[in-house]
Amino acid sequence: MNMNSVFFSLIFSLQLVGCEEQREPAKEQSQPVTEKQVETVQTGLEAARRSFTTKLTHRGPAPQGYEEVLPPAGVTEVEYTSGGLKLKAWLSDNPGDGKKHPAVVYLHGGWSFSAVDWQDVTQFIDAGFVVMMPMLRGENGNPGYYEAFYGEVDDALAAGRFVADLPYVNPDQVFIAGHSVGAVLTTLVAMMPSNFQAAAALSGVLDMELWSATGEPAQFVFNTQDHEEVRVRNPMAFIDSLQIPVILFAEPVGMDQFSRAFHKEAILAGKSCELKIVPGDHTTMVAPSVRQVIQWFQDQIENDVVKTP
C-alpha cells in the first residue's frame, strides 16, 4: 500500500512544529529518575492498559477505504477471534510437508488491507515461514470500532495465538513484524505478554505523543489532549516494558528519527533492540528490510534464542 503521501504530510507537519530541532538527549542512568519514569517502570504497558478504558471520540470504521479482494493461489481467508470479535485474515496455505514451520504475523501499513500488502510478505513464504496477515477491528468490513492503536493491539495478540495453534506451525517459533502503522502496533505488541518470540518494526512513527499532536485528526479517535489516552498508545512511553528482542528498520531520511530515538532509549534501558537503516523511501524500503528480517528471525532460531522442535 502506498502510504508515502500520508507520511510525507506527517513529516512536513512535524517540521512545522520544530521537529528538525535536536531531540533532548537521553538522560544518563546516574541522574535522578523522574516521577513519570517511576510510574512507567512500576506499571508497564500491560498494567496500564488493564487499569484503563479508552473513551473514543468517534465510533466507526478505520479511516481508510478498501476494496473487496479475493486471496490469490496459495492463500486462504480465515477468521480469528479477538475478544468477542470475529475478524478476517489472509493465511498462507499449509506447506504440506509434514513439518512444523516458523510463522510470522505481519501487520500491514495504513488503516486497511489490500492485495498489494500481501506482496510485502511473499519473501517470508519463500523462506519457509507460514504467514498470517490480519485485518484488524473496523478494517475491511470487520466488526468493531477503529480505536487508533489501542484495541488493535489485542487483535494482533489474538492473531499470534491463532497461528501458533495451527498444526503445521511450531508454536515456539512465532514472530511478529509490521510496516508503518503496523510497525507502531508491532512495538506495542512487543511490550505485552504474548507467544511471540521476536519483533521487527519497519518505518514506524514510534512517538505517539508527537504524532497525535500533529497528524490528521481523523487518525486519532481519542482526546489527544488527554495524557493517559496518548500514553497507553505511545511506544516511547513504555520502552522498559519490552519483553522480546526487537529490530527496527528505517529509511535514511524521514522516519529514521523515530527509530533512532527509540533505539537509543531501548539500549539505555538494557533492552535487546537493533537498528538498521536501509535504502529507499517509506514504501521502497520494505522489500530490502523484509530480506533482512527473514535472516534475523532465522538467526534467532539458529542461535537458540527461540526453541527448536
Amino acid 305: pLDDT: 54
> Is the Cβ–Cβ distance between 162 and 80 less than 8 Å?
yes
How big is the chain by its Cα radius of gyration, in Å? Answer: 18
Q: Which residue in this structure is represented by grid cell 536501509?
A: 278
Burial level of 21, CB count in 10 A (0-12/13-18/19+)? exposed
Strands 130-134 and 169-179: unpaired
For the chain, the straight-line distance linking the first and the last C-alpha, in angstroms and rounded, comes to 36
**Is residue 303 helix, strand or coil?**
coil
Q: Which residues does the chain have with pLDDT short of 70?
A: 1-43, 304-309
> Is the Cβ–Cβ distance between 176 and 156 less than 8 Å?
yes
- What DSSP assignment string belongs to 174-239? EEEEEETHHHHHHHHHTTS--S---EEEES----HHHHHHHS-GGG--B-TT-HHHHHTT-GGGGG
* Residue 164 backbone class (left: φ over 0; alpha: ψ -120 to 50; beta: rest): alpha
- Residue 201 phi/psi, 5-degree rounding, is -115, 120
Q: How far is CA 130 from CA 198, 274, 290, in A?
A: 15, 24, 14
Residues forming beta bridges with residue 273, ordered by sequence position: 246
Amino acid 132: pLDDT: 98
Kindly report, residue by residue over 13-43, the tens digit of the pLDDT.
433 333 333 333 333 333 443 444 434 344 5
30 is written with which cell numbers?
Answer: 546516574
Cβ contacts of residue 116 below 8 Å, gap of 6+?
1, 2
CA pair distance 234, 185, nearest whole angstrom? 10
Of 168, 201, 207, the residue nearest 185 (C-alpha): 201
> Is the Cβ–Cβ distance between 126 and 155 less than 8 Å?
no
CA pair distance 211, 6, nearest whole angstrom? 12
Amino acid 54: pLDDT: 98
Amino acid 299: pLDDT: 96
41 is written with which cell numbers?
Answer: 517502570
**Is residue 244 helix, strand or coil?**
coil
Amino acid 40: pLDDT: 39
Kindly report, residue by residue over 231-261, the tens digit of the pLDDT.
999 999 999 999 999 999 999 987 899 999 9
Amino acid 303: pLDDT: 85
CA pair distance 233, 33, nearest whole angstrom? 22
Amino acid 254: pLDDT: 79
